[in-house]
Amino acid sequence: MLSDTKASPAPPPEKPAEPGRLTRLFLSLADVASFVGRFFREAFLPPYEFGEIVRQCYEVGYRSLLLISTTGFITGIVFTNQSRPSLSEFGATSWLPSLIAIAIVRALGPLVTALIAAGKVGSSIGAELGSMNVTEQIDAMEVSGTDPFKFLVVSRVLATSFTIPILTFYTIFVALIGAFINVNANEQTSFPSFMQEVFGAVTFLDIFASLFKSIFFGFTIGIVGCYKGFHSSKGTEGVGKAANAAVVTSMFLIFIEELLALQIISALRGS
Amino acid sequence: MASEAVIVIENLRKSFGNLHVLQGVDLTVNQNENVVVLGRSGTGKSVLIKILVGLLKPDSGYVSVLGQEVETLKGRELDQFRQKVGFSFQNSALYDSMSIRENLEFPLVRNVRNLSRAEIDRAVEEALDDVGLSQTINQMPSELSGGQRKRIGIARTLILKPEIMLYDEPTAGLDPITCIDINNLINEVKERYKATSIIITHDLTCAKATGDRVAMLLDGKFERVGTFDDVFADSDERVQQFYNYNFVN
Residue-wise pLDDT for A181-226, tens only, equals: 999 999 889 999 999 999 999 999 999 999 999 999 999 999 999 9
Residues B74-122: tens digit of each pLDDT: 888 898 899 999 999 998 899 999 999 999 999 998 888 888 999 999 9
Name residues whose C-beta falls within 8 Å of residue A242's C-beta, 6 or more positions apart in sequence: A126, A127, A129, A130, A228, A229, A231, A232
Asked if A136 and B111 come within 8 Å (Cβ–Cβ), the reply is no
- pLDDT the model gives residue B224: 84
- pLDDT the model gives residue B248: 47
Asked if A145 and B87 come within 8 Å (Cβ–Cβ), the reply is no
Distance from CA of A58 to the nearest CA of B (A): 15
Alpha-carbon distance of A51 to A43, in angstroms, equals: 14
Alpha-carbon distance of A18 to A16, in angstroms, equals: 6
Asked if A144 and B106 come within 8 Å (Cβ–Cβ), the reply is yes
- Asked whether the predicted pLDDT for residue B1 surpasses 60, the reply is no
Are B151 and B127 a contacting pair, CB within 8 Å?
Answer: no
Helices (H), chain A: 21-44, 50-61, 65-89, 96-103, 109-117, 123-134, 137-143, 148, 155-187, 191-201, 204-230, 236-269
Give me the residue from B89, B94, B110 closest to A145, CB to CB: B110
CB-side exposure of A128: number of CA atoms within 13 Å? 19
Which chain A residue lies closest to B94 (C-alpha atoms)? Answer: A137
Asked if B91 and A142 come within 8 Å (Cβ–Cβ), the reply is no
Are B119 and B184 a contacting pair, CB within 8 Å?
Answer: no
- Count of Cβ atoms closer than 10 Å to residue A156 Cβ: 27
- Interaxial angle between packed helices A123-134 and A236-269, expressed in degrees from 0 to 180 and rounded to the nearest 10: 140
Asked if B111 and A143 come within 8 Å (Cβ–Cβ), the reply is no
β-pairing, B196-201 vs B34-38, is parallel
- pLDDT the model gives residue B40: 83
Residues B172-228: tens digit of each pLDDT: 888 888 889 899 999 999 998 899 999 999 888 999 999 999 999 888 888 888 998
Q: Does A143 touch chain B (CB under 8 A)?
A: yes
- pLDDT the model gives residue A271: 59
Q: Does A10 touch chain B (CB under 8 A)?
A: no
β-pairing, B60-65 vs B5-16, is antiparallel
Asked if A143 and B83 come within 8 Å (Cβ–Cβ), the reply is no
Asked if B107 and A135 come within 8 Å (Cβ–Cβ), the reply is no
Residues in chain A with CB shorter than 8 Å from the CB of B97 are 128
Q: Does A136 touch chain B (CB under 8 A)?
A: yes
CB-side exposure of A65: number of CA atoms within 13 Å? 7
Q: Of all residues in chain A, what percent carry a pLDDT higher than 90? A: 74
Asked if B82 and A16 come within 8 Å (Cβ–Cβ), the reply is no
Residues in chain B with CB shorter than 8 Å from the CB of A147 are 79
**Mean pLDDT, residues B42-46:** 88
Asked if A135 and B53 come within 8 Å (Cβ–Cβ), the reply is no
**Band of residue B9 on the pLDDT scale cut at 50, 70, 90:** very high
Are B110 and B189 a contacting pair, CB within 8 Å?
Answer: no
Q: Does A94 touch chain B (CB under 8 A)?
A: no
CB-neighbour burial class of residue B127 (10 A; exposed 0-12, middle 13-18, buried 19+): buried
β-pairing, B213-218 vs B34-38, is parallel
**Band of residue A154 on the pLDDT scale cut at 50, 70, 90:** very high
Averaged pLDDT score across all residues of chain A = 89
Chain B residues whose C-beta is within 8 A of a chain A C-beta are 17-18, 50, 53, 55, 79-80, 82-83, 85, 87, 89-91, 93-97, 106-107, 110-111, 156-157, 160
Which chain B residue lies closest to A12 (C-alpha atoms)? Answer: B18
- pLDDT the model gives residue B42: 82
Residues B139-166: tens digit of each pLDDT: 999 999 988 999 999 999 999 999 999 9
| DSSP 8-state code for residue A227 | H
Asked if A136 and B90 come within 8 Å (Cβ–Cβ), the reply is yes
b/e per residue B23-42 (b: at least 16 CB within 10 A): eebebbbeebbbbbbbbeee
Alpha-carbon distance of A238 to A106, in angstroms, equals: 37
**Band of residue A16 on the pLDDT scale cut at 50, 70, 90:** low
CA dihedral (B62, B67, B68, B69) in degrees, to 10, reads 10
**Mean pLDDT, residues B221-246:** 81
- Asked whether the predicted pLDDT for residue B245 surpasses 90, the reply is no
The answer to whether ipTM exceeds 0.85 is: yes
> Which of B15, B18, B113, B160 best tests the A interface by mutation, with the highest count of A CBs <10 A?
B18
Asked if A145 and B97 come within 8 Å (Cβ–Cβ), the reply is no
Q: At B16, phi and psi to the nearest 5?
A: -120, 100
Q: At A186, phi and psi to the nearest 5?
A: -100, -40
- pLDDT the model gives residue B2: 54
Alpha-carbon distance of A105 to A193, in angstroms, equals: 18
β-pairing, B85-88 vs B164-168, is parallel
